[in-house]
Amino acid sequence: MSDFIGGVYDVIVVGAGHAGCEAALATARLGFSTAIFTLNLDNIANMPCNPNIGGTAKGQLVREVDALGGQMGISADANFIQSKILNKAKGPAVYSLRAQIDRRAYSDYMKHVLEMQENLEIKQAEVTDILCKDKRIKGIRVHTGTVYYCKALILTTGTYLNGSIIIGESKVSSGPDGLLPANKLSNSLKELGIELLRFKTGTPPRLNERSIDYSKLIEQPGDEEIVPFSFLTGELNIEQVPCYMTHTTEETHRIIRENLHRSPMYSGEIKGIGARYCPSIEDKIVRFADKESHQVFVEPMGLGTKEVYLQGMSTSMPEDVQLKMVRSLPGLENAQIMRPAYAIEYDCINPAQLKLSLEIKGIEGLFFAGQINGSSGYEEAAAQGLMAGINAAMKLQNREPLVLDRSQAYIGVLIDDLVTKGTNEPYRMMTSRAEYRLYLRQDNADVRLTSIGYKIGLVTQERFDRFMAKSRLIEKEIKRLQETVLPANNEINEFMLRHGSTKIVTGIKLYDLLKRPEIEYHYLSEIGQGADLPKEVIEQVSISIKYEGYLKRQMNQIEQFKRMEERRLPEEIDYSSIHGLSTEARQKLNAIKPVSLGQASRISGVSPADISVLLVYLESRKRKG
């Protein structure tokens, strides 16, 4: 019997989570016929864990996705119920936007965006096989046997591959949020010779908020002034919903300690590798035994539901213990658990098998993005999805892949870390992973990336024009501040003293005035020197003046870094034939096939001396011609 061919597309995306949506939208928007497959159409862009988007480093990722023409920022702006800038006092490099999201509304919104997208078909099916011929992607087969053909395939299966959910002594085959797992695809990947890892993550219980005594909790409101994620979104004004805070008690800790033997993490039932940064509550209590209490947050999951998320109480304890634990928290004495907390184990690939374009080495046209690459988080997933989509499109257009480096974007740090260093736990983005954090800010994501997105073709003319207009305003304002000199008169000196600064004796440029840490931009209007400019323009102007010295230093570092990235290492180099390399370096270099000397230098086991050997090798190669 011959196969039923269900369709032929340029690109097929498997999985419609945060990575899949970005990937499919990118290829479709770039003009390629695309099909996106999901196990369940009602859970597109689902948030099976925390109901928020953004946060430290993650907020920056969302901004970057947006600046490149991605979807996540726009969707978040349309569906948030609370917004907050974190780290406001800690400096511009780490300001991070985070929004609580209406989970169902977000999912419906994303589904609608996909449905409305030109060139995009949405299909519900379980993909069981990857079809490959001569090391080149041909298509997929789904559980019904139907075959679909494509030129490029992007796998964004999240935590569904061979998923199993563990709650106490119970372990069942399942995807997150009680959805179906994908049990067949792992085998297909193994048959293609792809190395799989087994990771573990977890989620806390969900409660009915009617069972919570909020009078005992501390309210955590959103910011008064709402900053959107997307550079396209204008003023935002909504009625925000608060979060609440409570904490674990001595009683909680006692319950956990007494029941540790029933935790699958400790009984050895769970074998997947969990992340150090996201421990379950039992982990926290075992590892930080002297800490008397841990914070717990109650976060709303949407306007249309009473279900709330209990951040900080991730656990895989049995249900009866969970209930006791939850009810030992102040305000939650009568709490009703709607969904218990669980741990989930899943298959992912070893990301070191990927190229920086997110295409896997050795199979033409097969791309991976999101949690299947060993990362965690919606934002990390979206960022990879966007890049995989762009690069699948670049491949079909016969263009160079788009690889952002570590000095251009968090996206670059994320992918470089995964691909070059691999990971042995679910990878979460953190600002401290970025060497050039001061430059990779959320306020200038557009400066860093919008022109690139424009060249790729994802950034619309409208977005580009807005960006250019903003850039011009910034430039003009900086020029004005540099050219305006204030005289050293009484008015100015009174102004200076009023703001805790020191008197001036000669004239001073507005620019130099703003360099003083104590003088804020918005004070200028007091001396008739303010300007009526958009907030985001003022923000960038202030940052670039206040931190000029640091920024210059950072730019110098970036320049040095770039020099190493620009030394390309041709793909065909056989490292085992290079004289003078250490054995370990040979193996690692042959496996990773770094594209530049810079990337090579970040591979563990490749020493500075090996890099020098490569330098000499490159030079002699060049001279041989």
Partner 1 sequence: MINDTIAGVSTAVGNSGISVIRLSGPEAFLIADKIFKGKYTVSEQKSHTIQYGKIISNETKEVIDEVLLSKMEAPRTYTRENVVEISSHGGYTIAVSLLNLLYKNGARPAEPGEFTKRAFLNGRIDLSQAEAVMDIIQARTQRVSKIAVKQLEGSVSQKLNEIRERIITLLSDIEVNLDYPEYDAEEITLSKAERAAEEIINELDGLIRSFHYGKLLREGMDVVIAGRPNVGKSSLMNRLTRKNRSIVTDIPGTTRDTVEEYVNIKGIPVKLVDTAGVRDTFDRVEQQGVERSIKAISDADFVIILIDISKGFITEDQDVLNKVLGENKPYVLCFNKTDLVKDKQTINEFINSYPGAILMSIYEDTGIDELEERIFGYATENRQDMDNQVLITNARHESQLRKAKELLESAHRASQLNMTLDMVALDLKAALEELGKITGHHADEDVINAIFSRFCLGK
The DSSP H or E segment spanning 150 is strand 147-155
**Does the footprint of partner 1 cover residue 89 (CB under 8 A)?**
yes
Q: Which of 93, 317, 321, 343: binder of partner 1 (CB under 8 A)?
A: 93
> Using the rule CB under 8 A, which residue among 19, 45, 74, 94 binds partner 1?
94
Asked whether position 496 contacts partner 1 by CB under 8 A, the answer is no
Which is nearer to partner 1, 43 or 376 (by Cβ)? 376
Q: Does 461 participate in binding partner 1 (rule CB under 8 A)?
A: no
Query: Interface with partner 1 includes 578 (CB under 8 A)?
Result: yes
The answer to whether residue 295 forms part of the interface with partner 1 (CB under 8 A) is yes
CB of 301 to partner 1, least distance (A): 18
**Contact between 316 and 264 (Cβ < 8 Å):** yes
Tokens of 478: 């900086």
Does 424 sit near partner 1 (CB under 8 A)? no
Residues 547 and 92: beta-carbon distance below 8 Å: yes
User: Quick one: angle between helices 58-67 and 378-396, nearest 10?
Assistant: 30
Measured in whole angstroms, the distance separating CA 561 from the mean position of its chain's CA atoms is 23
Rule CB under 8 A: say whether 616 interacts with partner 1. Answer: yes
The DSSP output letter for 44 is T
- Number of amino acids touching partner 1 (CB under 8 A): 54
Is 86 a binding residue for partner 1 by CB under 8 A? The answer is yes
Closer residue to partner 1 in complex, CB, 449/603: 603
For residue 48, the 8-state DSSP code is S
User: Could you tell me whether strands 127-133 and 120-124 are parallel, antiparallel, or unpaired per DSSP bridges?
Assistant: unpaired
Tell whether residue 491 is a contact of partner 1 (CB under 8 A): no
In the complex with partner 1, the residue whose CB is nearer, 141 or 437, is: 437
* Closest by CA position to 375, among listed 418, 430, 411: 418
> Is the Cβ–Cβ distance between 194 and 314 less than 8 Å?
no
Largest Cα–Cα separation, the chain: 94
Closest to partner 1 by CB, 126 or 417: 417
Give the distance, in angstroms, between the CA of residue 81 and the centroid of all CA atoms in the same chain: 20
Residue 427 within binding range of partner 1, rule CB under 8 A: no
Distance CA 544, CA 537 (A): 11
Tell me the chain's radius of gyration from C-alpha atoms. 26
Question: Is the CB of residue 247 less than 8 Å from the CB of residue 293?
Answer: yes
- Residue 435 makes contact with partner 1 by CB under 8 A: yes
Given CA atoms 591, 596, 602, 608 in this order, what sign does their dihedral have?
positive
Residues 39-78 contacting partner 1, CB under 8 A: 56-57
Write the interaction track for partner 1 spanning residues 557-576; mark x where CB under 8 A is met and - where it is not.
Answer: x--xx-xx--x---------
| In the complex, least distance from residue 124 CB atom to partner 1, rounded to whole angstroms | 38
- What gap in Å lies between CA 179 and CA 201, rounded to an integer? 16
C-beta separation of 408 from 449 below 8 A: yes
- Could you say which DSSP state residue 598 is in? H
Nearer to partner 1, 184 or 247 (CB): 247
CA–CA separation, 189 and 137 (whole Å)? 12
* 615 lies in the site for partner 1, by CB under 8 A: yes
- When binding is defined by CB under 8 A, the residue of 297, 309, 367, 495 that contacts partner 1 is 297
Is residue 608 part of the contact set for partner 1 (CB under 8 A)? yes
Is the CB of 60 or the CB of 79 nearer to partner 1?
A: 60
| Residue 419 contacts partner 1 per CB under 8 A | no
- Residue 339 lies near partner 1 (rule: CB under 8 A): no
Binding site for partner 1 (CB under 8 A): 56-57, 86-87, 89-94, 96, 294-295, 297, 430-432, 435, 437-438, 517-518, 547, 550, 553-554, 557, 560-561, 563-564, 567, 578-582, 597-598, 601-602, 607-609, 611-613, 615-617, 619-620, 623-624
